[in-house]
Structure 1
Amino acid sequence: MSFKTLGLSEPILRAISKKGYDTPSPIQAKAIPPVIEGKDVLASAQTGTGKTAGFTLPLLHFLSENPKPKYRDIRALILTPTRELAAQVHNNVKEYSEFLNIRSTVIFGGVNQKPQVARIKQGVDVLVATPGRLIDLENQRLLSLKHVEVFVLDEADRMLDMGFLRDIERVMKLMPDKRQNLMFSATFSKDIKKLAYSILNNPVQVEATPENTAVEVIQQKVHRVAKAKKTGLIIKLISEGNWQQVLVFTRTKHGANRLTKKMISAGITAAAIHGNKSQGARTKALAGFKNGSIRVLVATDIAARGLDIPLLPHVVNFELPNIAEDYVHRIGRTGRAGASGEAISLVSADEISYLRGIEKLINMKVDVEIIEGFEPDPNASTEPIKQGQNRNRNQGRNRNSNSRSSGGNKNASRNKNRNRRRNNNRS
């Protein structure tokens, strides 16, 4: 199968060819035809499968084949959970619309809104946005969604994780009832399906990979280690293995900062990326990581979602996530587009229950290795870490926060969610 057989217009095919692509990925082959037909689509695909092109290509096809030259209203809205993902999606839109009379822009928090507003005032067909900045500008009446014809909700599962459900519902009310809706998610959980039913009309459901399946080409390994020896072990692995590009996951923002400082003290160039970092710092860190001037990028889950890092060879879970699905998202940063990759997890005694949950989800036992000098503490408690316990996914828990709570009334929950969104999407 080639892109030509999917019904895309000639200018789009030219842009695809210029990027060196000729064969669509499974998710693209399944999603593009029903989107072109104008149907609502619910699509599931893991990271690195080309899902962004799965909605941007047919979206651009529709807009170019149905031009409205008298107006430059926002005709398509793509909503994403993070700044990095928004920027990545917009880059895709620009590349694929190179030979089309289509204007696009991206808006997100953490940067001055004036340049973004100026571009919107000039007229745009496609707007890529994060929820916080989108609602901020709409509240200021600096943009209107009254003419949106296509709405795309990208990374829907992460949207729910980050507490954006209320914002999504608010955005829905700002758009016309009659429109095409596309929803992309890494998983088809019960919460995702419930959200889909509230947004989509008789959707076509497409799935490129089995639900929650880890990428098969990734070599997964666990190092059992004492909690206090984790830093020494990861420095040893990176130094002695001469790893030049490593994405490391921590559970908290402060944990990411601490580990980064210790890496630098050990002579390893490193940078942290998380919600408390300014957009400029995050962009600089990612650029350095891509060009090789930074060997190690230490990230939290939310900040890392949507990072476009091709052919990443190493992912290290410095701390296991307490949500098993997040393990799949993390290791999916490597082994992309069929390339091989390695995912290593440093597991202390209090993370054993998390490891068992992960193994149950991916339906396999991960190989365990103990390195001499970094043995696990035989006397350490195997009770799971207290952080992040008993929090419902729908309440938008922020696994990167350092202020933890397992309860509280509804008002407290709303305040927490509001703060999380402000940290991650505004400034």
Structure 2
Amino acid sequence: MIDVTKIRKDFPILKREVNGKPLVYLDNAATSQTPQQVIDVIVDYYSNYNANIHRGVHALSQEATDKYEQARIKIQTHFNAAKAYEVIFTSGTTHSINIVANGFSTLLKKGDEIIVSAMEHHSNIVPWQMLCERTGAILKVIPMNLEGELILEDYHSILSDKTKLVFCNHVSNALGTINPIKEIIDAAHNVGAAVLIDGAQAAPHIKADVQELGADFYTVSAHKICGPTGAGILYGKEEWLNKLPPYQGGGEMIAEVTFEKTTYADLPHKFEAGTPNICGGIAMAAGLDYMNAIGFDEIAAYEHELLEYATEKLLAIDGLKIYGTAKEKTAVISFNVGAIHPYDIGSILDKLGVAVRTGHHCAQPIMDFFKIPGTVRASFSFYNTLHEVDVLVEAVKKAKSMLE
């Protein structure tokens, strides 16, 4: 059992007030908060060993290089990648997906098929649409049901020997649904297709084992897992990373350059052109260290308690409807109250110190499926409390009374 009172003391921002009210931060699916232990790592980097990496012979450069590569190994260990060089540092999940989409533009031909799920974030839709425009490949969609679960029978029916790539999020950012990605991956592999899993929303809640899952690619953003913004990773199986061409040209990603020909560096540097977000990579590993010290099983159990409590309390409000009622889901609740626009509810909640997300959550096809303009999304983390759920519920009731 986690000690949430003790944990909350690690997060300086949770002590502040918003509009004269104690902050209740329930926008964790967008960005998690950062504990002092990670803030200290960031300050330590810029205070003591800020230098460029891999190229310098001086002490600061060597120290920064060591810390950066140690961070890569920590991330490799956390996700159980087979090799450290299968972990590519990026600016986040969107960057990671675009690396793969760009690479496959050289591997696809007209008439090839790629499959995406109906509940993807825009960053796992738009790059593939652009890929289809460049290559003539055809984009197919795995539909979902009213509970917010993928219809796997339909997925199996659209798989064929023309399928070259499948893309699916591990967890839906808009609904919280945990998708059966092991089944999705195995079925894709049976027809010879590669699979990219968007793990941005799963990483805060689930300790994914990429080898056990069999994922060919897996993406994560640091700012979802107590780390900084502008940092993340692309995991890729060595065989696939070797097949893909570099995404960007520049320093670090080269072995030899002449005006006649350039040869590319080995993994992971092939995909890490230019000076990276050195501090971001180091701090991302520190965020995982912090969460692992608490324990992902403990985090999952506590967040499930928050989810069940919040679901029960919110559904007691007359006219409130929750979107996304999958049997397997993380601590995310998307809801509307009657015909009230979600933005209006979110604005009043903000005045009461409650931070939630409103809108389509970069998942407009989901909203179109439900025929709604958007939702209010309350997303919980292990540092939230049952009392904060009560504050949310009372704030929603107040907003409802003001707006009806």
Instruction: Please give the TM-score of this superposition, normalised by the length of structure 1.
Output: 0.31
Which protein, 1 or 2, shows the higher relative CO under an 8 Å CA cutoff with sep ≥ 6? 2
Instruction: Please give the TM-score of this superposition, normalised by the length of structure 2.
Output: 0.32
